[in-house]
Structure 1
Amino acid sequence: MTTCDPKRRRRIRVVPPPPPGIRRGTGWMMRHPERLGDEEHEQYAAILVHCPELKALHAHVRGFAEILQSRSGQHLKDWITATRTTGLEKDWDAVAQGLSTHNSSSDDQIVQVEYHFGVRFPQDYRDFLSTTGSLSRFVPPADHSLVIDALDELIGINETGEFQKRFPGAVVIGGDGSRELLAYDFRQDTPSLVTLDVSAEDWPSAIHQAASLSALLDQFPETGWKWDDTNPTNS
């Protein structure tokens, strides 16, 4: 019978996992903190604790994101001073205006587009166009992409896709930024919002999304896009 010499026992060395790479760390920094998973949040927080320079950079990135989201261009000078950013002063007025205003539309512009399509847009959509103007972002927690096109893009988008020929009574106003098109169904007295596949040729493929734009914006953070037609439109 042999015995193991304690002096010759092998030591097991625990190798820690490699630190996150530059690409992953940059991705965490550029995403909204609420969209990070628990493990990602812990790893990112650990990086910031051990690197004061990255922690300061993170604060600057989040500060600029807040300016963009809140359209508060009046705070840009403070951000520039804090980050020592150069180059923006050359077109300061244009930069500040771009960060302070929305791409909104006047009532006359809305009427002109309505006349082109031969429709009257629902009031909540008209209000959206005259205030917010357009939208393009991922919406948490559903994390689906929602795009609502600017008014001055509607005619070109609809004519290029020949959507009125393929879907008589439809006016495309946005989508998911990929294959799904968000459109009003003006075959109805009260037009609802549906999605149409970009390659579809007729109405039976339409999927009901919401009775109005207000309803869609209210439900979208939780439901995202609906992929099954639970409220079919008229074919």
Structure 2
Amino acid sequence: METTFKVRASAAGKIMGAKGLGETGKSFCKQWLKEHLYKRRPELKSKYIDKGNRLEDDGLTMAALELNLGMIYKNDEFFQDDFFCGTPDLIHDGVVYDNKCSWSLDTFPMFESEIPNKDYYYQLQVYMHLTGCTKASLCYTLVDADYDLVSQAVKWLTDKESIYRTISNMVYTQKAFDEFKQEFCHDSKSYYFVEIPESDRLKVFSFDYDADVIAKLQERVQECQEYINSLLNK
């Protein structure tokens, strides 16, 4: 019994062990095989994922405005070949863009000079390979949390100053802060909110297509296929 394996762009980093597939890659293959055979995937839930899903379009719009991209249209096309598959966020003028919506200022890489998570580098290398683009931009954005996220965060708080601090850590524009303060803690005595300019809420890491990285990833995909076959034939 055999089954054909190809890796999602978002998971490409999971199989890029320093020396061969490695234990991390093998664990990934085992999980992939269970999902593939029995058509079940774990439902991942967290406030970080929730914000990213809810506000992805807001982040892309902010990035487009700051980067002067003009009119953009979010990509919905699914790309694949014999090794990889995935759906890039945006393809514009020969550049692949991917947005990562940071949960908070604390997790936003404002002053970083290198990509905090190397998995995202591999993800965009795969996107470039699949689309034929030779340049990519990884955009970290810091956008205001929406009403549902804020209301969930303050739901069980009773102290007005705690509510104030929570809201101020979840929104970055004066307009949004004023609206949430009026809604949830209008009589708070604190007045320390500082608006963060939009230009400071976008961090872009740009890089070129690397054929050597893709060749190595293709080797890893083949190793995954061999390992998956060995699991099936035990």
Same fold (TM over 0.5): no
Q: TM-score, normalised by structure 2?
A: 0.24
